[in-house]
Structure 1
């Protein structure tokens, strides 16, 4: 069996009210003077954190690098970073923590308080938008956060559609990690269980949007989904989504809703054994089951709804072509149009 690697944040706190442990975690990490990285939509909610930052850094969707650069300057004098929000805030905070590393190269301690199911807090990688408006990324072991606080009470402030669409993003992580090349036995077990749990718990979150216990179940499933972050993030649905997401203002969770069923259909003839296992776990044809789940959650299913047409998709397919021919990628995009 070829070698493989696995990493996860060392400390993960679970459940409603778990953010109350934030002061103790900051003390443990010797980071009581911290900079907070969040989004504009959450600025009014930062008072719900039990301790105040020395600086607050606001990051937009897809983490524009110009804002990250500003955040690096704003974090001067801070001994740690707390991210509060979804993938954009968490990824930006990871980059800031590494760029504020001390003379010995040690990144600033980083505690993530996620409010979506994107699972960015679980990866030693970070995405951002470059000056041309295209999605880019970086990898560094120091990007892995030091602690995570999955507080379902804070997650309740996340709009339901955003919560559910990032749940499909977690499903995308699980599917693409399972379909990745090579041997990854631990990930396979976790990914299949994540798929079972997401199919079970996401509809219940929609039916009972005020149930914190269900949101914690969603968070556990998302945690299970992302034990092979590098391979998942390099999967076809992810890369096709990144190609159009930042450029056209489509959130990552939504790109997974738009593309994942069609990517599964494209890959099924190329890896029939793997896709058959997914179908068995989902209880039917895998692509149809994913598409049915997305429809049942009333999430977006058509790229055209975001003002993107065939010319833009043709450009995206041409730029992404390599492992797969541009014509195949374009057909997959157009199936989602």
Structure 2
């Protein structure tokens, strides 16, 4: 056994019902006196409640999917105008992504308060979209200094969005099995992440107000993100980044739709990863286990349901082919990616 593994330096505070208290402790520890709170309009009231005790210099509510460059620029300008010395993001992946975009050029520290299972808060990955093209990269400046996890903040997250977001987290685990920097530690984290999500997501789908299910799912999403941050982007994430940037598709739902197709595409050529995923899903095979879980969750099925036109399949396949990560278990061809995308577009069974 021989590998190199990086563990990102970050504090995690995990406690249901303690978001405001833990957030205040983290901001005090930073010595911040002029905080910028970033939260989408839908999270405005929640953010005001969670950050009520902070020295807030500016509340910023312009958030957009995939972090358009122009939205990031306006947020950066606001941070400068209000002489901000720390960032707090309260929300899902788009909100965290915007905070990262500000930190990327300013070096401001971030404390993240997630309200979905996106996982961006535990990675040093940033993404910006310009002219229908999403660019991603890694930078230590964008890694939040601390994460404040509070499962009670997710009790009002609708079941359908919870399912999509949770399957996005599961995709982090699966991709970490064969991503460019996959190692035994990533595999262990990803396997436990899958198990926790398998337990938690059906509880959440059955009763969105079930705190136990929320905690399992949130714990699993964190492990998924840590594995992904170390292992890097595999084929699944490259596909979803291209689709999101080109067609402005909803992030979580896109990942939920594409995941079973990438798993079916790669699993036959990655028997060890396949066995690990199957075991974590408590199934005879990885594809069967994922199909069973998705059926229980009534998961998103087709890209066309979210606005992608069939005419976009070929140009998307061509763009994906240019960014395929090295070492993918199955050889990637234009024909293979085109067939995969068409199946995901129409909601066909994975092949």
Given the superposition, is the C-alpha separation of residues 290 and 183 from structure 1 closer, same or farther in structure 2, using an over 3 Å criterion? closer
Distance in 2 between residues matched to 1:258 and 1:190, nearest whole Å: 23
2:78 maps to 74
Give me the TM-score of the superposition, normalised by structure 1.
0.92
Is contact 1:150-1:216 (8 Å) kept?
Answer: no
1:220 maps to 219
Distance in 1 between residues matched to 2:196 and 2:216, nearest whole Å: 8
Is contact 2:190-2:227 (8 Å) kept?
Answer: no
Distance in 2 between residues matched to 1:242 and 1:231, nearest whole Å: 18
Give me the TM-score of the superposition, normalised by structure 2.
0.88
1:104 maps to none
Is contact 2:193-2:224 (8 Å) kept?
Answer: yes
1:276 maps to 275
- Are 1:61 and 2:65 counterparts? yes
1:38 maps to 39
Aligned residues: 330
1:25 maps to 26
Is contact 1:12-1:149 (8 Å) kept?
Answer: yes
Is contact 1:8-1:123 (8 Å) kept?
Answer: no
- Are 1:307 and 2:307 counterparts? yes
Is contact 1:177-1:226 (8 Å) kept?
Answer: no
Superposed counterparts of 1:68-217, under 5 Å: 68-76=72-80, 77-100=83-106, 107-130=107-130, 132-181=131-180, 184-217=183-216
Distance in 2 between residues matched to 1:213 and 1:139, nearest whole Å: 33
Q: Mark the runs of 5 or more structure 2 residues left unpaired by the alignment.
A: 325-331, 346-351
Distance in 1 between residues matched to 2:275 and 2:212, nearest whole Å: 32
Distance in 2 between residues matched to 1:222 and 1:117, nearest whole Å: 5
Alignment partner of 1:308: what SS? coil
1:103 maps to none
Q: Mark the runs of 5 or more structure 1 residues left unpaired by the alignment.
A: 101-106
| More displaced stretch, 178-187 vs 109-118 | 178-187
Is contact 1:16-1:152 (8 Å) kept?
Answer: yes
Distance in 2 between residues matched to 1:117 and 1:184, nearest whole Å: 23
1:253 maps to 252
Tell me how large the CA RMSD over aligned residues is: 1.8
Distance in 2 between residues matched to 1:115 and 1:63, nearest whole Å: 17
2:328 maps to none
Given the superposition, is the C-alpha separation of residues 159 and 249 from structure 1 closer, same or farther in structure 2, using an over 3 Å criterion? farther
| More displaced stretch, 5-14 vs 255-264 | 5-14
Q: Deviations over 1:51-84 (max 9, x none)?
A: 3521122211121111110000111201100001
Is contact 1:248-1:306 (8 Å) kept?
Answer: no
Deviation at 1:294, TM superposition (A): 2.1
Alignment partner of 1:268: what SS? helix
Deviation at 1:187, TM superposition (A): 1.4
| More displaced stretch, 325-334 vs 226-235 | 226-235
Is contact 1:173-1:233 (8 Å) kept?
Answer: no
